[in-house]
Amino acid sequence: MATLAQSASYRGKVGKVAATLTVTATAPTAWGDAWWSWARTAWPGPMSTRFHRQPAGGGGQLPMAITASFWWGRNIPTHGSTPSQAGGGSHARMKTWFSSLCATCHSTNSRLSCKGWEVRATYPLPNWSLPMPPLPPVPPHPLEVIMVGAGYVGLVSGAAMARLGATVTVVESNPGRLTALRSGTIPLHEPGLGELVASERAANRLHFAANLAETALSAPAGTFKAPRLVFLAVGTPENTKPGQQGAADLSAVQAALDELASLLPPNPSLTILATKSTVPVGTGAALARRFQALRPDAPLVVTSNPEFLAEGQAVHNFLNPDRILVGLPGGDTPPSYVQAARQAYSQLYAPLVIKGVPLLFTKRESAELAKYAANAFLAVKIAFMGEIADFCEHSGASVDEVAHAMGLDPRIGPEFLEAGPGYGGSCLPKDVPALVASAAQSNITLTVPQAAHLANKARKAGLGGRMARVMHLAGKRIALLGLAFKAGTDDVRASPALDLATDLLSQGASLALHDPEALANARAAMQALDLPPQQSERLHWAPTLEAALTGADAAVLLAAWPCYKDIAPDHMAQLMKGRHLFDFRRAWQPQPLRAAGFTLHAVGMAEETIPSHCDSEL
Ligand SMILES: NC(=O)c1ccc[n+]([C@@H]2O[C@H](COP(=O)([O-])OP(=O)(O)OC[C@H]3O[C@@H](n4cnc5c(N)ncnc54)[C@H](O)[C@@H]3O)[C@@H](O)[C@H]2O)c1
Ligand SMILES: O=c1ccn([C@@H]2O[C@H](COP(=O)(O)OP(=O)(O)O[C@H]3O[C@H](CO)[C@@H](O)[C@H](O)[C@H]3O)[C@@H](O)[C@H]2O)c(=O)[nH]1
């Protein structure tokens, strides 16, 4: 038992109802983690909680601040149309809860104030005693992680796992990418990744290898002091073989497994294999069978640890996930292997779990399917809003207002309701058909994801047609702004911009293409299309936004990079020849652009915004 000097304070806002209780304690910081796990289970709050701990100093007897955020949940009614009316309901509930919290904590002298939308409360908690459990055992060795593939997922996950304390070797078979990494260059655009990789390399926790044979995996049995985790983060693109179109191409996953089987030493200790790659349900079981046939002497447990990061915010997503999902095998797998896997994951992700991130252990099949189901659900939301946006354009409604009104319903939520040019990227476009194809193998027809997939393909293919309805395209110079599949990344895989570019070229337009990060990737992708010379000579790669806009008859916004949002309308008007703007992201403000003389065609905005003089161009 230790006595802690504490104070607690609460600050919450109506509509975003969360209470933060900050407990300031003077305690040996070495006890922090143990106190933490005790607090998470023993806290008397009636609602779900999320804990954060911020040590105020290094080891020893330094004070630390502990913040426990008590989330009220998503069902707080915020009735009324004025702050005080709306606040009444939820603030009253908050007050009741805090009063009971106070009583539970034997607190006196609590202060509570309610001003506009905000409630503040301060509760001194004198002489509040908390039992201190014994320190948990410290694992004797850091985890050894091998990450196969240094793409968006493998490189981010590998570096972030090193940050979590593991010793990580990232294996990359692409020589150019490996050379770049070894020389300290990050071969992809991901905010924060450069700093993360550099600091983990400097701490000697992050290494790179050209193949599995270069890692310690091929060393004699007994080399590893702790269980080794081998993650597969290789690509699983859409299969293009006849008869298998749409299904996931698992050849890179299988090749990596075969490589592993070929180099493990005789009678090695247990290897924990994890698919970070997105793989169809049943893949883990198939990989286990394949490995068993190749290496009956080598103990292996195949687990699923799907990744939910989104490009452009990958480092942040990995280190602050909504959940960590781990699928464990059942059936014939020895329980001791499964237990070892569970322990290894618990150790690997402990620094995140301690922050309150849920670590879900499920059946392996559930984890595999949950990843696809999540992506398909996101795809359905986006595709649905695309169709609603089309209807808005013909009904006088604004899709922004419709989405906002829908999103305030907590059963719907505000995320992923932005209608745009169609979803792109390396995940949703290939994962939805892969889900549909894998279900079809079990004679299950997934009509809803399939409809989203078809709607999205049609949306991307129809962008040029939308433009052709308001202006002649042949002979015109069009500035395409934003070539990545969304702002924040240099990834152009399945980018709507590439679909539109090929369509506009075939309609006779000249293109000036610009992107702040994705120009090189877009150029490589367009070159790979092997366009006829009369089309490729009409492609112009603009090094600056100004160069793209200069002399353009029209500009098209496809990815909402800040540089496009921030450009001054008058500056655009000076540079451009024509006055047509197509905003497929609704990132541009209509009024200032109209004031500068532009005609704005924005997705999901009513037709009346298009002046009648456009007809004369048809
Ligand atoms: N990109 C994302 O945002 C994201 C998010 C979650 C999940 N995923 C899934 O993760 C997987 C990887 O996606 P990605 O975008 O990182 O792919 P990527 O194509 O960017 O990277 C894969 C990397 O693996 C390398 N590689 C392939 N085979 C190898 C081998 N045998 N040994 C060593 N290196 C090898 C490739 O050279 C490449 O650099 C996919 O299944 C994808 O669906 C992707
Ligand atoms: O409201 C929205 C949200 C997204 N998009 C588009 O949808 C696509 C995908 O966007 P996003 O999901 O942000 O990017 P990804 O990096 O592809 O991430 C998705 O795919 C990853 C790979 O599986 C998952 O890990 C992530 O959770 C999932 O969000 C992009 O073209 C976006 O422009 C919209 O049009 N409207």
Residue 195 marked ligand-binding = no
Q: Whose CA is nearest to atom 4 of ligand 1?
A: 153
Which listed ligand is nearest to 430 at the C-alpha? 1
Q: What is the pLDDT of residue 120?
A: 45
Residue 170 lies in a domain: yes
Contacts of 232 (CB under 8 A, 6+ apart): 148, 149, 253, 256, 257, 273, 274, 275, 276, 277
Q: What is the pLDDT of residue 606?
A: 80
In the reported structure, the alpha carbon of residue 192 is separated from the centroid of ligand 2 by a whole-number distance in angstroms of 19
Residue 439 lies in a domain: no
Burial 200-216 (b: 16+ CB within 10 A, else e): bbeeebbbbbeebeebb
Same domain (yes/no): 100, 183: no
Q: Whose CA is nearest to atom 8 of ligand 2?
A: 423
Same domain (yes/no): 152, 297: yes
Q: What is the pLDDT of residue 2?
A: 34
Decide: 145 in ligand 2 pocket, CB within 6 A.
no
Helix (H) or strand (E) holding 5: strand 2-13
Decide: 173 in ligand 1 pocket, CB within 6 A.
yes
Same domain (yes/no): 77, 165: no
- Residues 466-512: pLDDT tens digits? 999 999 999 999 999 999 999 999 999 999 999 999 999 999 999 99
- In whole angstroms, give the CA distance from residue 583 to residue 463: 11
Same domain (yes/no): 207, 347: yes
Contacts of 220 (CB under 8 A, 6+ apart): 265
Same domain (yes/no): 124, 157: no
- With bands split at pLDDT 50, 70 and 90, how would you rate the model's confidence at 607? low
Same domain (yes/no): 180, 110: no
Residue 451 lies in a domain: no
Q: Which atom of ligand 2 is nearest to the CA of 416?
A: 1
**CB-based contacts of 316-321 (< 8 A; 24+ apart in sequence):** 316/191, 316/192, 318/156, 318/157, 318/160, 319/160, 319/163, 319/352, 320/357, 321/352, 321/357
- Residues 312-355: pLDDT tens digits? 999 999 999 999 999 999 988 999 999 999 999 999 999 898 88
- Residues 446-456: pLDDT tens digits? 999 999 999 99
Residue 364 lies in a domain: yes
Q: What is the pLDDT of residue 184?
A: 96
Residues in the chain: 618
Residue 416 marked ligand-binding = yes
Sheet with 206-209, side-by-side order of all strands: 206-209, 167-171, 144-148, 228-232, 271-275, 300-304, 324-328, 359-363
- Residues 394-425: pLDDT tens digits? 999 999 999 999 999 999 999 999 999 999 99
Residue 98 marked ligand-binding = no
| Statement: residue 578 has pLDDT above 70 | yes
Rounded mean pLDDT, 378-389:
98
Enter the ipTM. Answer: 0.99
Same domain (yes/no): 76, 174: no
Same domain (yes/no): 109, 178: no
| Statement: residue 274 has pLDDT above 70 | yes
Residue 493 marked ligand-binding = yes
Rounded mean pLDDT, 573-585:
97
Site to probe by mutation for ligand 1, drawn from 146, 153, 372 as the one with most ligand atoms within 8 Å of Cβ, is 153
Single out the residue in 341, 369, 397 at which a domain terminates.
369
Range of the domain at 195: 144-369
Same domain (yes/no): 348, 206: yes
Distance from the Cα of residue 119 to its chain's centroid: 32
The closest alpha carbon to 545, from 534, 559, 527, belongs to 559
- What is the value of pTM for the model shown? 0.81
- In whole angstroms, give the CA distance from residue 234 to residue 257: 11
Residue 392 lies in a domain: no
In the reported structure, the alpha carbon of residue 159 is separated from the centroid of ligand 1 by a whole-number distance in angstroms of 15
Catalytic (active-site) positions: 427
Residue 453 lies in a domain: no
Single out the residue in 101, 130, 159 at which a domain terminates.
130
Same domain (yes/no): 126, 218: no
Helix (H, G, I), strand (E, B) or coil at 16: strand
In the reported structure, the alpha carbon of residue 137 is separated from the centroid of ligand 2 by a whole-number distance in angstroms of 40
- In whole angstroms, give the CA distance from residue 299 to residue 486: 43
Q: What is the pLDDT of residue 104?
A: 43
Residue 195 lies in a domain: yes
In the reported structure, the alpha carbon of residue 535 is separated from the centroid of ligand 1 by a whole-number distance in angstroms of 32
Q: What is the pLDDT of residue 99?
A: 52
Give the range with max mean pLDDT: 98-102, 113-117, 119-123: 98-102
Single out the residue in 340, 369, 398 at which a domain terminates.
369
Q: How far is CA 108 from CA 64, 478, 494, in A?
A: 23, 69, 60
Same domain (yes/no): 482, 569: yes
Residue 495 lies in a domain: yes
Strands 49-55 and 63-71: antiparallel
In the reported structure, the alpha carbon of residue 423 is separated from the centroid of ligand 2 by a whole-number distance in angstroms of 7
Decide: 255 in ligand 1 pocket, CB within 6 A.
yes
Q: What is the pLDDT of residue 279?
A: 98
Q: What share of the chain has pLDDT > 90, as a percent?
A: 69
Residue 310 marked ligand-binding = yes
The tally of domains found in the chain comes to: 3
Phi then psi for residue 316, to 5 deg, are -60, -45
- With bands split at pLDDT 50, 70 and 90, how would you rate the model's confidence at 21? very low
Which tokens is 61 given? 């007897």
Helix (H) or strand (E) holding 574: helix 569-575
CATH assignment of the domain containing 537: 3.40.50.720
Same domain (yes/no): 150, 254: yes
